[in-house]
Amino acid sequence: MKSLVLIIAVKIHAAATTHCVQQMVQIQLFLAPYNIATWLCTNGQINVQDQTVHVTISGITADHNYWHFPNQSYVDYLVQTGGYVVFNFDRLGVGLSDRPIIGTLITADIHAEVLSQLVKYLKQQLKFPKIVLVGHSLGSLTIWTYASNYKNADIDGIIITGLLHNYNFTSLFSFGLDLYIANLDSKFSYLPLDYLTTIPNTRVNYLFYSTNADPYAIALDEQLKETGTLGELALGIFKFSASVSLSINVPVLVVIGQKDIEYCQQDYAVSCENSGIVLQRETPFYSTNTCLETYVQTESAHAINLHRNAQDWYQMAVNWSNRRIGKTWNSSATQPC
């Protein structure tokens, strides 16, 4: 088993009643150690070893800030309102985590390997009794890959956001055209040539439904943008196969924005008008063991967390977790799968 080493707790961040301890966790990849920046967030009062933990995984060109965004934080809501623990982290290659010299080596399979080591760390070293994986976009693709490659090892539930199996190719292709070499951007001028980021001021076209988004959120997201890699883009498409997600055998909740142009356009027969339609679309790709549920966040585009009504789906995540997983080691799910 690959070893994980807790490096050091370097910062404590407190927002209202959310207390996040930042730690660098060392993983092993390519026969070398890499540091992954993590934040373990609690209300500061509970015994974390009794609690269910949500592990949050960001999408391409985003980092941990997507889940802990000012004024509409998933982390804060799950901790303060839901009573859960959240383990947030920067994926390999973004934010405060290490960036391999060859960015193309970073793929969905590599992200899944990192996730498998972090799950083992949470389960075996921190002794969390129950683990729920929560992904957005590439983060959700990472979860599909993890479940397939590691046979759902040590996890109890999955929340997929910003990802469906049938997509609008035109919109995804257009998004690809709005990526450029990251070191052409002043923020990332130090990076190798195979790291990518979004061309300035294009993110709003794909991530936001502007009538339901605060201009401050749009501007801050542009400021906080991160990178992606050629490996993530080129090889990720193979993970949309039904054979990948059909390997999942724990409860699954799928959440999508009603106005997500990458996956939801009536003209392309990929409607997300309501949860029933999305459930019908996704059911063939999940086994009956998942007790698949879906939720459509109205008036929201791809970055559902960054819209004004984000708390609607946060509450859905809390309710679903209570029903399907249970909040602590000794609290049973009220509606087990």
Contact, 180 vs 154, CB < 8 A? no
Q: Give me the torsion for CA of 13, 53, 161, 203, rounded to 10°.
A: 20
Q: If you count them, how many residues does the chain have?
A: 337
- Over 270-285, what HEC string results? ECCCCHHHHHHHHHHH
pLDDT in tens, 268-310: 678 999 999 999 999 999 999 999 999 999 999 999 999 999 9
Nearest to 58 by CA among 104, 84, 90, 36: 90
Domains and CATH numbers, the chain: 45-324 (3.40.50.1820)
Asked if pLDDT for residue 158 goes beyond 50, the answer is yes
The pLDDT value recorded for residue 37 is 98
Give the whole-angstrom CA distance, residue 198 versus residue 224. Answer: 11
Give the whole-angstrom CA distance, residue 6 versus residue 11. Answer: 14
Q: pTM here? A: 0.94
Hey, what are 175's tokens?
């998004």
pLDDT in tens, 110-154: 999 999 999 999 999 999 999 999 999 999 999 999 999 999 889
Give the whole-angstrom CA distance, residue 68 versus residue 19. Answer: 12
The pLDDT value recorded for residue 174 is 86
Asked if pLDDT for residue 191 goes beyond 80, the answer is yes
**16-21 average pLDDT score:** 86
Burial class (CB in 10 A: 0-12, 13-18, 19+), 201: exposed
Contact, 290 vs 248, CB < 8 A? yes
